[in-house]
A and B are shown apart, each in its own frame.
Chain A
Amino acid sequence: AQTVTQSQPEMSVQEAETVTLSCTYDTSESDYYLFWYKQPPSRQMILVIRQEAYKQQNATENRFSVNFQKAAKSFSLKISDSQLGDAAMYFCAYRGISNFGNEKLTFGTGTRLTIIP
């Protein structure tokens, strides 16, 4: 079974600075997808970024980028120019490729990010 580990329960960063959230995963599959989700105090789960394992290029969405290291099974999220609205829980998630329609996500336990004004 796949597992996703987020070893940093809490992180903090000064506003306008850069922060990196860590995620590692364990899988025997060669093709899969990885995601980062943001959960602000409103509780809504918001998709931040997606990475396909077959792509060598790291995904980028505005101030959010990932560092995907397939061999190391590492998938970190970098937030540049941190803003107060970035304060949230961040979840890393893994999705395998299945022929049986089981397209579930496996989540890490989350990292709570605090932005210091």
Chain B
Amino acid sequence: DAGITQSPRHKVTETGTPVTLRCHQTENHRYMYWYRQDPGHGLRLIHYSYGVKDTDKGEVSDGYSVSRSKTEDFLLTLESATSSQTSVYFCAVCTGFPTYEQYFGPGTRLTVT
């Protein structure tokens, strides 16, 4: 447990509505990540952050934006949710040198109807 919480844990929303998922960490890690998990795909990186206000895109970033105004919080926003964004979303932190281990939050199950 790397002190990572995600909120909400479950959410059902309608197509076209905005949605924000929150990731909060307590151990001051520099690197934070958002992944989505879908059957047959494993986990795929959406966006990541390497510091406050420093973010970059991952492999499946279309339709998502992120923000990081504080070290401990990393927000993922779906500007206009679509059914293809129904998924389980995981936040992760990285310990950095020398082990580079990533630890994950408990996940958020998002359903877009």
- Check: B58 CB closer than 8 A to any chain A CB: yes
Across-interface contacts of A35 in B (CB, < 8 A) = 101-102
Query: Which residue of A has the minimal Cβ distance to B96?
Result: A103
A10 to B33 CA separation, bound complex (whole angstroms): 28
Stretch at the interface among B15-23, B43-51, B65-73, B79-87: B43-51
Cα A102 to Cα B42 with chains together (Å)? 19
B42-A50 in contact (CB<8A):
no
Q: How large is the interface on A (under 10, 10 to 19, 20 to 34, 35 or more residues)?
A: 20 to 34
Q: Give the complex CA separation of A104 and B92 in angstroms.
A: 10
Q: B23-62 CB contact bits vs A (8 Å, 1 = yes)?
A: 0000000010100000011111100101000001010000
B45 touches A109 (CB 8 A): no
Whether A44 lies near B104 (C-beta < 8 A) is yes
Q: How long is the Cα–Cα vector from A37 to B102 in the complex, in angstroms? A: 10
**How far is the CB of B64 from the nearest CB of chain A, in Å?**
15
Please pick, from A43, A95, A110, the residue contacting B88 in the complex, using a CB distance under 8 A: A43
Most buried by A among B56, B99, B102, B106: B102
* Chain A residues, Cβ within 8 Å of B102: 35, 47, 95, 105
**Residue numbers in A under 8 Å from B88 (CB-CB):** 43
A91 / chain B contacts, CB cutoff of 8 Å: 42-43
A interface: dominant SS: loop
Pair A107/B107 contact, Cβ less than 8 Å: no
- Report B-chain residues with C-beta under 8 Å of the C-beta of A50: 99, 101
| Complex contacts, A110 vs chain B, CB 8 Å | 42
Find out whether the CB atom of A45 lies under 8 angstroms from the CB atom of B33.
no
A101 interface residue per 8 A CB criterion: yes
Q: Which 7 A-B pairs have the closest CB atoms?
A: A107-B42, A45-B104, A101-B50, A107-B43, A109-B42, A104-B45, A43-B107
A-B contact pairs, 14 of them (CB 8 A): A43-B107, A44-B104, A44-B106, A45-B107, A47-B102, A47-B103, A50-B99, A101-B31, A102-B48, A103-B48, A104-B33, A105-B43, A108-B42, A109-B41
